[in-house]
Structure 1
Amino acid sequence: MEKEFPIIETARLILRAVTSEDADDMFHYLSDYDVVKHIGLAPCKTVKDVLDEINWYQSIYEDGTGIRWGITLKNSGKVIGSCGFLNMASKHFRTEVGFELSKEFWGNGIAGEALEAVVKYGYHHFQLERIEALIEPANLPSQKLVEKQRFKREGLLRHYEYTCGKFDDLYMYSIIKEDLKFS
């Protein structure tokens, strides 16, 4: 039996599962070097590359190690980014969060609105205790975004990941359940 993918609604956004029908919308931002340069992906060169990413989203959901929502504006339904959890360790009540957003929507609070909704969803529906964000030191906008959402920087993980032919240092940020006050 297949579990139904949850939909999250905020003031301006619908966060939903992405499908192959969203590949062209996603190619628009996943092929943009400025969007992907800090997330460990090379810019997509073809729509097939995007379909591989969509397949990965589906596989982490099916195997219970993550969930990735497509970010859509309520008035359009077009996927303009994604946000979600990966490397879920339910035994330890923790996960990592990741996000990206099409460049033309930067600076409008959309990524923050999506991240806040996803974090709340994680605490309410997955009984998480800790959510981590791993961010490259050069990615100042993402650092500011998570800090605004009350994540705390814990330290630098040196050469933590190997992506796109290089070793990446990553700041470890986290937010724990007691950092938030839920209504």
Structure 2
Amino acid sequence: MLNTHIKTERLELKKLDDKDAAGLLEIFSDPEVMKYWNTPPWNSIEQARQFISTSADAMRNLSSLTLGIYCKETKQLQGKVMLFNYDKESRRAELGFGIKRESWGKGIVFEASSALVEYAFNQLNLRRLEAEIDPDNTASGKALERLGFEQEGLLKQRWEIGGIVSDSAIYGLLAK
């Protein structure tokens, strides 16, 4: 998983490196981007560097796959897409994604996630993918459904971030 590099029509999905720290901080310090996440917005470049380091370690030990989403034309970082909570024995993982606000509504999440879903089923031989979102995050719910995911359940009052309690909608997708 470490050297995974996926190309789509408009995007390149590849390992993040230290030069991406400022771009990641810009994306994940945005309160609108982080509105439905189970962590507060980032507030330091060190958090971005730590994320890159932790992601690289997890890729080395084959426990997750985190790829930066880059525009082929401009080479600019748009966000990240990841497979995490990887369970090799059960052949399943969780899909996650996050992109900068300026890229919302342009099909980037769908294009990047479609490529990663295909990689998960065809290269990693996964049997099942899962995703967990705040049910109020209708854009992510629609993106997951467009990818073929189905909502399988609702976990009430799952998270509390900054005094705000929220539920989790659980989605699943099986390999065809």
TM-score by length of 1: 0.90
Unaligned stretches of 5+ residues in structure 1: 179-183
Query: Does the C-alpha gap of structure 1 residues 5 and 166 become closer, same or farther in structure 2, counting only changes over 3 Å?
Result: farther
Deviation at 1:83, TM superposition (A): 0.3
Q: Distance in 2 between matches of 1:91 and 1:168?
A: 31
SS at match of 2:118: helix
Give the secondary-structure state (helix, strand or coil) at the position aligned to 2:167: strand
**Among 120, 130, 135, which residue is 1:122 paired with?**
120
Tell me the amino acid that sits aligned with residue 169 of structure 2: Y
Moved over 3 A (4+): 159-168
One-letter amino acid of the counterpart of residue 64, structure 2: G
What's 1:29 paired with?
27
Give CA-to-partner distance per residue, 1:106-150, whole Å, 9 cap, x none: 000011000100000000111100000101111110000000111
Q: What's the Cα RMSD here?
A: 1.5
CA distance in 2, matches of 1:47, 1:92: 36
Q: Which residue of 1 aligns with 2:152?
A: 154
* Residue 56 (structure 1) shift: 2.1
Residue segments in structure 2 that go unaligned for 5+ positions in a row: none
Sequence identity (%) = 28
Aligned-pair distance for 1:4? 4.5
Q: CA deviation at 1:59?
A: 2.2
**Partner letter of residue 159 of structure 1?**
Q
Q: Which residue identity is paired with 2:59?
A: Y
Partner of 1:71: 69
Tell me the distance in 2 between the aligned counterparts of 1:66 and 1:15: 15
